Homo-oligomer: A and B are copies of this chain.
Amino acid sequence: MSSQHPIGRRPGDPEVTRSAVLDGARSTFAEHGFERATIRGIAARADVDPALVLHYFGTKEQLFVAAHQLPFSPEEVAAAIFDGEIEDLGGRIARFYLSALAVPGSPAVSLLRASATHENAAEMLRTFIDLTLMGPGIETVPAPDRRFRMSLVAAHLLGVLFGRLILEIPELAGADLENIIRPLSTTFQRYLTGQV
């Protein structure tokens, strides 16, 4: 049966193939970074046809998300934060990220811990920020310096997650999430559309 597989050079169970592609993707992204990693290179690492990689995962972005078990896809983030009035962008960003990540059992804990000590993980977190906060939707933020403006937002989000989940500063760890989302929303909106 496996000899009849129409595309891949690796015969057999699709789950095995999928797992090989994910392994190949992780090591390729770690070695070359997101930008320089290619579907062709990942396919070669996994010993499968590049068409099979695309068949399973669609795009390099989606493969990146799957390989790193990220909590949400760039498309989901973009829809959640960039769809809507620019006047509420800061509030949507604060609510989306903090509701998803500033909570018990958050994947942000291991992501931040790993990023602090392993360059591979730091590269992954940088890429995730690049694909979401800095993704195509950022065009709605006024130029110039839209990436710098968004980097201030990213920094503040990182700090709240670090202070609440890693350091467990009592006033942050114990705060009602709404009491954090409110002041951050105002700050983010000023960073994105106000005077910096």
> Measuring CB to CB, which residues of chain A are less than 8 angstroms from any residue of chain B?
32-33, 35-36, 112-113, 115-117, 122, 125-126, 129, 147-148, 150-152, 154-160, 162-164, 166-169, 171-172, 175, 179-180, 182-184, 186-187, 190-191, 196
A171 touches which of B33, B35, B147, B159 (Cβ 8 Å): B147
A154 touches which of B35, B157, B158, B163 (Cβ 8 Å): B163
Give A107 Cβ to nearest chain B Cβ, in Å. 15
Would you give 12 A-B contacts (Cβ < 8 Å), ordered by A?
A: A33-B116, A113-B117, A148-B171, A148-B179, A151-B169, A152-B160, A154-B163, A155-B159, A158-B158, A159-B162, A179-B196, A187-B190
Q: What residues on B are CB-neighbors of A184 within 8 Å?
A: 152
A183 touches which of B36, B126, B169, B196 (Cβ 8 Å): B196
Q: Give Cα distance in the complex from A186 to B152, angstroms.
A: 13
Q: Number of copies of this chain in the oligomer? A: 2
Give A38 Cβ to nearest chain B Cβ, in Å. 14
Known contacts A159-B155, A162-B155, A183-B191; A167/B125 CB under 8 A: yes
Q: Give Cα distance in the complex from A182 to B122, angstroms.
A: 27
Give A154 Cβ to nearest chain B Cβ, in Å. 6
Main secondary structure of the interface of A (DSSP, over half): helix
Q: What residues on B are CB-neighbors of A158 within 8 Å?
A: 158-159, 162-163, 167
